[in-house]
Structure 1
């Protein structure tokens, strides 16, 4: 990644935190007569371009959905290929992400991942912990319902041990137990590929997010389209249940 200074072109009122469901890699590859993993490799390359575009439009936090808890249902060949891709991506991009100033975090349940991948994830987080240019969060073996279940379990343990008064539990309590407890809620959620569903992604955090469902397949998603969506967000009237006066 280039280390050159970016001259901000920030849209007024643009989103601070954008979350992306990166869908369409398999279809992109199929359209070209190639195996699905070819599309996943193309999609991984697209991540770099969008990360680099974030400071340019004023986005401070980018969260991407890399692998869901439901994706284990795919063929063994595809799952193994994706795990290999994740290991290769982390190893290859660790230095460039750090030099670019990206702070990387992972969310999701790591228990089912292989030891080498878990180790690489930890190394990337540690290697970039001081960076502040862009906060990149990668959802890996992540599911919104699974996250809430794990958070509720930890909350229940604290109640049982006396660390938490059950009468004090309210809607501000659970977020402190979520994987995303150090992140602001997403302002804008984008899903590529023409599908109009959220697929168990950031269920609690996206309660008041704006959504964009676009037809573009993820490997074809450009920084120009990203900038356009961020600019369009700035023109939305967000009332959070109130009446405009």
Structure 2
């Protein structure tokens, strides 16, 4: 997989529904309810160690790749040590793997391994982690994931202060000519997506706002419309 990640031709924001909020016993039905409106499928992997929760594993990513061969699988691994889990998700069929800088002992090596495998490489930041820590690897990062809630559980309230981090990353990208996308994960929905987009975010992860609605596809359409009004 070569080249930089690209937004839609329309220049609109990308919406990545989080499968953590889907009903695990009806996941296929929930994905079909998106009616093709989702740009990416976001898969949260939690180890019960780096974050206080357990969720999914490479078997789900593999099953998703088999069922939806053309889907962009945005895999966010909240595991420690992050390096020990890369091979299993690379082979499972992830399109992008984002690992936490707080959980990686050798972030440069980990990102290089993902890229050498032909995948896109992302770095995630907890709400309390400064974007300045990414300075040595920004040039090789395809995506920076800004956590706007504390990682570990879905359905949390949006931490508005994280928008400052998004703005800083957007400005750094412009000043230094980097190509990374900025993704925001946590508490996003129709009420705040315009604000998130205004801060420079390119990809928005939405879980309960999408799958907690009777019509997930309509929520995505509404979010995209509101983002374009920024």
TM range (shorter): 0.3 to 0.5
Question: Structure 1-normalised TM-score?
Answer: 0.42
Q: Greater helix share, 1 or 2? A: 1
If you compute each CA radius of gyration, which structure gives the higher value, 1 or 2? 1
Q: Greater strand share, 1 or 2? A: 2
Question: Structure 2-normalised TM-score?
Answer: 0.44
